[in-house]
Amino acid sequence: MKEGKYTFVQGNIACAEGALYAGCSFFGGYPITPSTEIAEFMSEKLPLRGGKFIQMEDEIASIGSIIGAALSGAKSMTSTSGPGFSLMQELIGYACIAEVPCVIVNVMRGGPSTGLPTSPAQSDLLQAKWGTHGDHPTIALVPNSVEEMFTETVRAFNLAEYFRTPVIILGDEIIGHMREKFRLPEPGELEVIDRKLPDVDGLCRLPYRADGKHPACLPNFGASRFHVTGLNHDESGFPTMDPSIVQESNSRIIDKIYHQRELIDKVETKYCEDAEMLFLAVGSAARAAEEVVEEYRRKGIKAGLFRPVTLWPFPKKQFIPYAEKAKKIIVPEMNLGQLRTVVERFARSEKVIPVNLVNGEPLDPEFIMSTIEKCSK
């Protein structure tokens, strides 16, 4: 083992630890299984370091509170699961258009509706992308280990602060609740990005002016008496219905993340170079897929795993070359084909073998292999 401080905790706790490492000082949340350990941990740790925890009256209030705190200068976070994530959608859009950095953790469970509160699922992959109304930027990260619950949470804060946009972490019940050993990074070991503040004395008159490809940098409340609104607005932050400005600004908030994809993209590939059977999977399903890939390789089958750690924006540039070479693309996921709809944009659907499980049981390697066998017959 590498030197250092090791810990053996649940994924949800690692996520909360990651938030603290990144400098999160405000948490607003509402209890919901299977994410509640995150709120519980933050309620204990934040006041010890002068931070603030509040249990709001519902998930809408939770995300409202973290946006308010973020505008006041705090790095802020909420955590939830499917039903609460649905309630948060409107204000995720608000954070997108008002360009407010915040982190939303969704520890996914079975759905729709109350569904299976204590069972794993990957039910919200597309909701994370398309849940709020209107065109908007989406950055969503999908950890697949307890360690990644920590490191991806740190990265989520960094991306939120840099790009001035909400960042979503899609955990799932398996990753959130299981305990696994990982080494706690030392302070300073992982990069921690703080928001850039405008370089002005006194009032910042154009808080929404972007500097080239760099996102606009809003001041914090208190430093500059500016205006924030969920209405379409111009560079000054005030509402406008000028078609050319609205066209430009609606595009800009999306373009800002696509202009610097290199800062966002993260994929893990295993044996993809010569893979004839290419697995595309995220989160806990990717761990099952990896086991199948290893098993196939032992049998001499050229299998490979493509795992987007950043799911949105989808890493198509990295995926397409492998997808083109592969004879079959297997998409195991704990839903009824959400990732498959994405894959089929880049690969012929005859090549795609969907592996879908929504019965509340974990998607295991045997199920993947038996589904592939059935499809191959």
Partner 1 sequence: MKYEIRFSGSGGQGVITASVILGTAAALHDGKNVIQSQAYGPEARGGATKADVIIADEKILYPKAQHIDYLVSLTQKAANKFIKTLKKGGIVIIDGDFVELPDSPDYKIYRLPITSNTIAKFNRTTTLNVVAVGAFAEMAGLVSMDAVKKAVIENSPAGFEEMNIASFELGRDLARAAKKG
Partner 2 sequence: MFDYSTYLRSAKLPHIWCPGCGHGIIFKSLLRAMAKTGWNKDEIVLVSGIGCASRLPGYVDCNTLHTAHGRALAFATGVKLSQPKFHVIVVSGDGDSLAIGGNHFIHACRRNIDITLVVFNNGIYGMTGGQYSPTTPYGDKAATAPYGNVEPQFDVVELAKGCGATFVARGTSFHVPQLDDYIYKALMHKGFSVVDVVEACYTTHGRKQKTKYKNNLDMMKWQRDNAVPLSKAQTMSAEELKGKFVTGIHHETERREFVENYQALIDSLKGGKK
Helices marked H in 140-189: 146-163, 173-177
Which residues does 366 contact at the CB level (< 8 Å), separation at least 6?
Answer: none
Residue 39: CB minimum distance to partner 1, A: 17
Q: For partner 2, which is the closer residue by CB, 60 or 263?
A: 60
The token pair that represents 35 in the structure block: 């994410």
303 in Cβ contact with 292 (< 8 Å): yes
364 near partner 1, rule: CB under 8 A: yes
Applying CB under 8 A, which part among 50-58, 175-183, 257-265, 317-325 lies near partner 2?
50-58
Of 25, 35, 79, 335, the one binding partner 2 (CB under 8 A) is 25
User: Which residues on neighbouring strands pair with residue 353, listed in sequence order?
Assistant: 330
Q: Which stretch binds partner 2 (CB under 8 A): 65-73, 155-163, 166-174, 189-197?
A: 65-73
Using CA atoms, how far apart are residues 288 and 333, in angstroms rounded to an integer? 10
Closest CA to 103 of 25, 48, 175, 45: 25
Neighbour count for residue 268 (Cβ, 10 Å): 15
Binding mask 67-96 for partner 2 (x = CB under 8 A): xxxxxxxx-x-------------xx--x--
174 interacts with, out of partner 1, partner 2, none, CB within 5 to 8 A per kind: partner 1
Q: For residue 118, how many C-alpha atoms fall within 13 Å in the half-sphere facing its CB?
A: 0
- Return the closest-CA partner of residue 51 out of 83, 26, 14, 15: 26
Question: From the CB of 210, what's the least distance to partner 2, in Å?
Answer: 21
Min CB(134)–partner 2 separation in Å: 12
Bridge partner list, 9: 180
3-state secondary structure of 248: helix
Roughly how many angstroms between the first and final C-alpha of the chain, as a whole number?
Answer: 45
Which residues are CB-neighbours of 130 under 8 A, at least 6 positions away? 138
**Which of partner 2, partner 1, none lies near 71, with the C-beta cut-off 5 to 8 A by kind?**
partner 2
Which of partner 1, partner 2, none interacts with 42 (beta carbon under 5 to 8 A by kind)? none
Q: Which residue has the tokens 């084909």?
A: 337
With CB under 5 to 8 Å by kind, the binding choice for 114 among partner 2, partner 1, none is: none
268 part of the interface to partner 1, by CB under 8 A:
no
Residue 51: left if φ>0, alpha if ψ -120 to 50, beta else—which one? Answer: beta
Q: Which of 23, 83, 115, 117 binds partner 1 (CB under 8 A)?
A: 117
Closest CA to 98 of 129, 132, 131, 128: 132
Nearer to partner 1, 180 or 234 (CB): 180
Pick the closer one to partner 2 by CB: 56 or 246.
Answer: 56
Interface residue with partner 1, options 29, 34, 51, 84 (CB under 8 A): 34
Q: Quick one: which of 1, 133, 134, 188 contacts partner 1 (CB under 8 A)? A: 1
Residues lying near partner 1 in the complex (CB under 8 A): 1, 6-8, 33-34, 117-118, 174-175, 177-181, 284, 287-288, 290-291, 294, 362, 364-366
- Please give the residue ranges that form the binding site for partner 2 (CB under 8 A): 25-26, 28, 47-48, 50, 52, 54, 56-58, 60-74, 76, 90-91, 94, 221-223, 225-231, 238-239
